[in-house]
Every structure is written in C-alpha cells, then in structure tokens.
Structure 1
Amino acid sequence: MDTPLSGSGNLPPKPGNRPPLSLSGLDFKLLRVFKAVVEAGGFSAAQNELNVGLAAISKQISDLEIRLGMRLCTRGREGFCLTEEGKLVYQASIDLFASVDSFRDRLSSAQNELTGDLNIGVIDNTFQDPNSPLIAALRVLHDEAPKVRLRLHASPLDDIERGIVEGRLIVGVVPVYQRREEFDYFDLYQETSNAYCAMGHPLFDVDEHEIDVDVLRGCEVVNHRYALHGDKANFVTLDGQSATASQVEAVAMLVMTGRFIGFLPEHFAAHLVRDGVLRALRPDLINIRTNLNMILRHNAPRSPLVKAFATALGVDLKAL
C-alpha cells in the first residue's frame, strides 16, 4: 500500500508563496481515505470501512499531509483529533466529492442511468414500524437502479441533522418535533407512542380502570431528551426527572428496571408486551403521535438520485 510519496520524508515547511494545488487521481484517493478516517472517528475505526490495515491508512494520511504541506490531525495516546487545517480540508473534501457526485449524476441522467452513493440517515429503532415506507422504497430503488450504492446510517436525530448540514448525508428519515430553517420537510407517516411500565412497577398489576392521568403524574418518568413532545406535559410531570435517556433503546432499559414509566413507540414495545414484561398504560387515553418526515438540506440541488429516492418513498418534491 506504499505510494510514491511515502518515502519523501517529514512534513515540509509551508512555502511562503505556494502555487495552486493541481489534484491528481492519487490526491482524490488520499482525500477519500482522509474523509473516511474523520467520519469513522480515527484510524483504527476506519479499517473496516476502507478494508485496509492500520499501517496503510497511517501512511496514506501522512502522504496527504506531505502533498498538502499541512498537518491534518494528531494521533496517538491522546486519540484522534483534527487540526484547524484538518477541519478545513475535511469540509473542503465534502464539498469536492459532492461536486463530483453532482457531475456524475448529471451525466447519468443524460444516459438515463442512475449511479453513485446515496447516503441516508434514518432514526434508530424504526425498522419494525409497519407504517414506514423506507424498506419498500429501498427495495424499489435497488431494483430500478442497481448501480446505486446505498449507504444507510441509523443514528440519533441530532447526528442525522448535523450530517445533512455538513454534507455527509444527503437525505434523512426522522421524527419532527420542531422544524428548523436549515431543512426542507416532506411528510411520510405517523408513529404512535404509548406510556409503558415493566414488571415490578407499582402500576404493572393495577386494574385498567384505576389508571388515569393523575395516577401517571405521581410516577417517575424517563426523560427522552430528543423526543421533545409538548403533549407529554398533558400526561406526566416533567420537572425533576431522575432518569434521562437519549435513544429509544435506552428509554426501554430504564423502564425495564420497574422503577420508571416511559414513552416508547408502539411498534418497538409490541414484542415486549406480548412477552408479558411490559404493559401499556391506558393506550386508549394516553398516547403521543409523532410525524416522521423525509428531510433535505434547504435549497440544496435535488439530484436525479434524490428525486428517484423521493419517488420511491411516495414523496412529491414539488409539493413543498
């Protein structure tokens, strides 16, 4: 995995008047490696994505630093960290490869053939929701455009939003608690969440007719940090919670202690209810509905690939 730059010595001092950089095929390869390392969070974590060894990755990053005349990152016992120049090069590489993808999309459109990478961010723990059109859309897109490389990332909401703003992700499928001006939103479906308790909780064996909102207000509730539903205040007391979680699975773990109630998506909790370890508390009276949307960066170009994915989801991009 050596490259022609590998033996060229230490990082050279920056010249005072450096000529404009002319990118070669090797530079593109090294920049892709650098981008993958940053997005994986370090050299070791990038090995699976790049399918090469740690020594080869380290050498390629060193080659890129020599080529650019910049120290891009620190690595060692303190861990992986970008320098200020490294942050600049990373953002520039995102813009560069987005431009390359746009160029390729336009050529593919002219040839009536879709190719390239489609980076999709989807909120975690939604795959078993029967109302979600995502799996069917991915199937349709793959059948109609088999040369498209699907890159699916299951992540928390803030990671997906940040990825779209930064350009690492093209499209997201996320719950909407409040709209942000950085994004365009397209309705997909609704998710229903109920209040649950587990075996060992005082309400687990209480008769249904004895449970109402006032009873729930006397219970400790898990604060799901990203599920910012105003409707929750109608059912539970939100002040002074002793348990906080950032993802659905973490909420479920705390509920399973038998010490808290928590709101969970109905589809996520269904098998636990069937197994008799969770109980929905008055789902006829106490429930929350969340809109899930496809989101795109506001005013970003709609490539043929994005348009094809939107069509597979049943989304009309002109309806914004």
Structure 2
Amino acid sequence: MNEKNTLLPRQLGDTHIRLLRIYKVVIESGGFAASEIELNISRPAISAAISELESLLKMKLCHRGRSGFAITDQGEKVYQSTLQLLGNLENFRSEMNAINTDLVGELNIGITDNLVTNEQQRLTRSLSTLKLRAPEVVINIRMISPNAIEAAVLDGQLHFGVVPELRSLSGLTYSSLYQERSQLYCSEEHPLFDKNNEAISDSTLCEYDAVIPNYPQPIKIKHQQKKLKSTATSTDREGLAFLILTGRFLGFLPVHFAQQWVAQNRLCSIDSHNRYFDTHFFTITRKGARENLILEAYLEELEKTL
C-alpha cells in the first residue's frame, strides 16, 4: 500500500485527538502565543505538539518564525477536516445520550469568571436539581473567556455556555439569564475612599490611576471605562480586584463580587449614583445540534429557576 495512504494508524487514539484539538486552537487563535491561555500549556509544549502532528501527517501545517504565523494550504485542509472530525465525535456522543434515556453521560459547560457570588445564581440551583434528577451525569465546567466559550459551543466541545452580551453569532441560540451591576471601587487606602455618596467629576477621576479590562466589552460599558486614567489592565475580574485592593488603582467590579470586601470595609464604591453599568448575561447553545437528553434536562431545570 502506498505510504501516502497510511499516514495515520487504523485506529485514532486520545493522543491523536489531543494533537488535533491543540492544532485547532492554534489556528483559531492565530498563533502559538495567543493560544497559550486557552490551552493552558506552555508555548514550547504547543510547538512540540504541532511538530509531532506535522511529523505524523508528513506535511507542513503552518509557518512560524520572525515573519509571523501563517497556515499552509495543506494546513487549511487539515483544519477543515479536524472541524469535521471533532463535530462528528460530538454528534456521536449526543446520539448515544439520546439512545440512553437514563441520562448517563457528560454535560460540558463554559462559564465566564466570578459569577458564583451573584445573588441571582440560577446556575448553581439548576445544576443541583439536575444532579438529583440524573445522578450518573458527569458535569464538567470550564472557566474561559466569552469568545472561547462561543467557539467551543459552536464546535461541539461544550454543550452550554454563559456569556455577557457582546454580539450575536448566527450559529448560536441566546437566552437571557440575568443582569449584573458593576460599580467603581477603590480600597481603604485610596484618597477617594468613602466617597460613594459624593458626585465626582471626570477631571477628578483622571487624577488617579485605574485598572480596566482588556477583554471585549459592549460600547456602552467602554464609554464608562474611557473616563478613567488607565495605567493597568487585567484579563479577568479577579485581576481587577487584585489591583484595586492595592490602594493604587480605581476600577469597576460587579457589586456581588465586591461585596465580600465592602463588608470588611476594605472596598468602597465611588459616586455610586453615576459610576456604574449593567451587564446582561445570556446562556448559549448551538443551533441545529443533535438531540442531547442531558442538555435538554438541564435546560428544563434552568427554566424552573425562573
């Protein structure tokens, strides 16, 4: 048999699937450096995985170096085939769940950071009732960025996600979950501490350093952020809290998340009647996905929390 027809073993194992998943993330992230956070592995490990896949397939999948990252023509075809393979795997899982009416299998969920302290926490209650209803179901939660959640739901890695209102992708179904209010905070060591009932001008705020998010946000929220003197950024809201608690930075935090430090008199909201914004959160599922009894059962439990 021609060698070209025997590049891969007759049976693909977990190792091969892992390499293809890494390759998919690298391509969608636009390079090794950008994929480190989502994959949670080092750049050398990512490079080694891609090299191993190229060796296995005996083809160059992408160019990397000083000139930048670029996918080859063969690499593009491998990427498209990878999407098809991973989608077929998820379809198989869904079909098996549909056949098995005892609700045995996995529920894979993606959530953005620091939602657990929200008083409107419908996710916890619905997962609790699902576990009572289907004790054999294995629940897997990934804490990742909204963009990564959308991508993972679209390609079938996740069954369900929770994301803030940013955009509407045609391949996803969005359902309103709840709103979250954020206010401007400083710590007890900051000069503006205890100014929550006083109106503060934009010019006064610009005298102080502030930390802002470097993840995507709606225009109306960015408008509030632009009023601050940005000298620091964070990829998530826990990072914002770290810097605000230093006493050197102002920054917006969700009220429910900040409350633990407000109760300890370590944080104080600033000009709370004017310096705030609301974030609308949605659940997302993939349109046209195969029937999945576990997901349907969970969505039923989530609906009951209303």
For residue 130 of structure 1, report the CA deviation from its aligned partner: 2.4
SS for the counterpart of 1:295 is: strand
Residues 222-247 of structure 1, C-alpha deviations (whole Å, 9 max, x = no match): 332333350563x6653763333331
Give, in whole Å, the separation in 1 of the partners of 2:103 and 2:267.
46
Does structure 2 retain, via aligned residues, the 8 Å contact 1:115–1:147? yes
Residues 158-195 of structure 1, C-alpha deviations (whole Å, 9 max, x = no match): 22223233443332111113434343210111212111
Does structure 1 retain, via aligned residues, the 8 Å contact 2:212–2:232? yes
- Counterpart for residue 9 of structure 1: none
For residue 95 of structure 1, report the CA deviation from its aligned partner: 3.1
SS for the counterpart of 1:288 is: strand
Give, in whole Å, the separation in 2 of the partners of 1:268 and 1:152.
20
For residue 157 of structure 1, report the CA deviation from its aligned partner: 1.8
Give, in whole Å, the separation in 1 of the partners of 2:235 and 2:54.
37
Does structure 2 retain, via aligned residues, the 8 Å contact 1:217–1:236? no
- Counterpart for residue 12 of structure 2: 27
- The residue correspondences of 1:165-184 to structure 2 (distance < 5 A) are 165-184=154-173
- The residue correspondences of 1:198-217 to structure 2 (distance < 5 A) are 198-206=187-195, 208-209=196-197, 211-212=198-199, 214-216=200-202
2:236 alignment partner, one of 247, 256, 260: 247
Pairing 1:156–2:145 present? yes
Give, in whole Å, the separation in 2 of the partners of 1:82 and 1:142.
45
Higher Cα radius of gyration: 1
- Seen in structure 2, the aligned counterparts of structure 1 residues 128 and 256 have a Cα distance that, compared at 3 Å, is same
Letter paired with 1:281: I
**Corresponding pairs, count:** 281
2:217 alignment partner, one of 227, 238, 256: 227
SS for the counterpart of 1:160 is: helix
Give, in whole Å, the separation in 2 of the partners of 1:86 and 1:140.
45
- Counterpart for residue 227 of structure 2: 238
1:98 alignment partner, one of 62, 80, 87: 87
1:138 alignment partner, one of 87, 103, 127: 127
Pairing 1:185–2:174 present? yes
For residue 198 of structure 1, report the CA deviation from its aligned partner: 1.3
Residues 268-296 of structure 1, C-alpha deviations (whole Å, 9 max, x = no match): 11111122221012435543221111012
For residue 154 of structure 1, report the CA deviation from its aligned partner: 0.4
TM-score, normalising length from structure 2? 0.72
- Seen in structure 2, the aligned counterparts of structure 1 residues 294 and 302 have a Cα distance that, compared at 3 Å, is farther
Give, in whole Å, the separation in 2 of the partners of 1:101 and 1:165.
11
Letter paired with 1:314: E
Give, in whole Å, the separation in 1 of the partners of 2:284 and 2:156.
13
- Counterpart for residue 311 of structure 1: 300
State the identity %. 27
Pairing 1:279–2:265 present? no
Taking only aligned residues, the RMSD between alpha carbons, in angstroms, comes to 4.1
SS for the counterpart of 1:308 is: helix
Give, in whole Å, the separation in 1 of the partners of 2:58 and 2:221.
55
Give, in whole Å, the separation in 1 of the partners of 2:15 and 2:225.
53
Higher mean Cα deviation, 174-183 or 269-278? 174-183
Give, in whole Å, the separation in 1 of the partners of 2:258 and 2:78.
44
For residue 108 of structure 1, report the CA deviation from its aligned partner: 3.5
Gaps of at least 5 residues in structure 1 are 1-12
SS for the counterpart of 2:106 is: strand
Residues 92-149 of structure 1, C-alpha deviations (whole Å, 9 max, x = no match): 3453243233234334424413333332110011122221211222223333333433
Does structure 2 retain, via aligned residues, the 8 Å contact 1:34–1:90? no
Does structure 2 retain, via aligned residues, the 8 Å contact 1:95–1:167? no
Gaps of at least 5 residues in structure 2 are 27-31
- Counterpart for residue 106 of structure 2: 117
TM-score, normalising length from structure 1? 0.69
Higher RCO (CA-CA < 8 Å; seq separation 6+)? 2
Does structure 2 retain, via aligned residues, the 8 Å contact 1:185–1:295? yes
SS for the counterpart of 2:117 is: coil
